[in-house]
Amino acid sequence: MPLAEAPVTIGAGRCVFASGVLSCSVSFATTCRGEAGGLAGGSESEWATQTVGNGPHVLPARWFGAGCPVSLSLALGESGWDVVLASGSLGWPGEQTHAATFFEGLQVEVADYTPAFERFGLGEDQLVGPVPFHGSFEDREGAPDPVFAALSREQGEAQVSAWEGVFERAGLGNVDLIHLHHLTPMHDAAARLWPERALVTHLHGTELKMLHRVKCLDGVAVALDTGLDRLAAAVEFGELAPDRQLPERERELPRRTKLSRYRYGKEWAARLEASARHSRRIICISPHGASEAVRLLGIPEGLIEVIPNGVDTDRFDR
Q: Measured between alpha carbons, how far is 311 from 277 in angstroms, rounded to an integer?
A: 29
Pick from 205, 165, 169: nearest CA to 185: 165
Count of domains in the chain?
Answer: 2
Q: Residue 311's CB: how many other CB atoms inside 10 A?
A: 8
Is residue 77 over pLDDT 80?
no
- Kindly state whether residue 311 falls inside one of the protein's structural domains: no
Do 55 and 195 share a domain, yes or no? Answer: yes
Cα angle 177-182-188, degrees, rounded to a multiple of 5: 65
Q: Are 41 and 4 in contact (CB under 8 A)?
A: yes
160 and 253 assigned to the same domain = no
Q: Do 183 and 230 fall into the same domain?
A: no
Contact by Cβ (8 Å): 101, 43: no
If asked whether residues 151 and 38 sit together in one domain, one would say yes
Q: For residue 137, is pLDDT > 60?
A: yes
Residue that terminates a domain, selected from 227, 243, 261: 261
Please tell me whether residue 16 adopts helix, strand or coil conformation: strand
- 154-208: pLDDT as tens digits: 999 999 999 898 888 876 666 667 777 889 998 999 899 888 888 888 898 999 9
Range name among 52-56, 117-121, 232-236, 237-241 with the lowest pLDDT average: 52-56
> Do 152 and 189 fall within a single domain?
yes
Higher pLDDT, residue 311 or 94 = 94
Q: Tell whether pTM > 0.85.
A: no
Residue 317 lies in a domain: no
> What sign does the CA torsion over 40, 41, 42, 48 have?
positive
pLDDT at position 275 over 50: yes
Residue 25 lies inside a defined structural domain of this protein = yes
In a domain, 190, yes or no: yes
> In terms of domains, do 110 and 221 share one?
no
Q: Are residues 84 and 180 in the same domain?
A: yes
| pLDDT for the residue 81 | 67
The residues, ordered by sequence, that sit 6+ positions from 302 with a Cβ below 8 Å of its Cβ are none
Q: Are residues 127 and 220 in the same domain?
A: no
Do 290 and 244 share a domain, yes or no? no
Residue 149: pLDDT band (50, 70, 90) is very high
Residue 57 confidence (pLDDT): 38
List, in sequence order, every beta strand (DSSP E) within the chain. Answer: 14-19, 29-32, 57-58, 60-61, 82-89, 107-112, 177-181, 198-203, 281-284, 304-306
Q: What is the pLDDT of residues 2-36, one digit of tens each?
A: 333 333 333 334 444 444 433 322 233 344 434 33
Q: What is the CATH number of the domain that holds 98?
A: 3.40.50
Quick check: is 70 in a domain? yes
Of 302 and 186, the one with more pLDDT: 302
Claim to verify: residue 163 and residue 226 sit in the same structural domain: no
Containing domain of residue 218, as a range?
A: 212-261
pLDDT bucket at 270, cuts 50 / 70 / 90: very high
**Is residue 110 assigned to a domain?**
yes
pLDDT at 234 (0 to 100): 85
Do 93 and 167 reside in the same domain of the chain? Answer: yes
- What was the pLDDT predicted at 103? 83
Could you tell me if 230 and 281 lie in one domain?
A: no
The chain-wide mean pLDDT, for the chain, equals 76
Who wins on pLDDT, 273 or 258? 273
Length of the chain: 318
Q: Is the dihedral of CA 265, 90, 81, 310 positive or negative?
A: negative
Q: Is 111 helix (H, G, I), strand (E, B) or coil?
A: strand
Q: Report the SS3 class of residue 200.
A: strand
Nearest to 167 by CA among 252, 159, 52: 159
Select from 180, 164, 159, 59 the least CA-distant residue to 116. 159
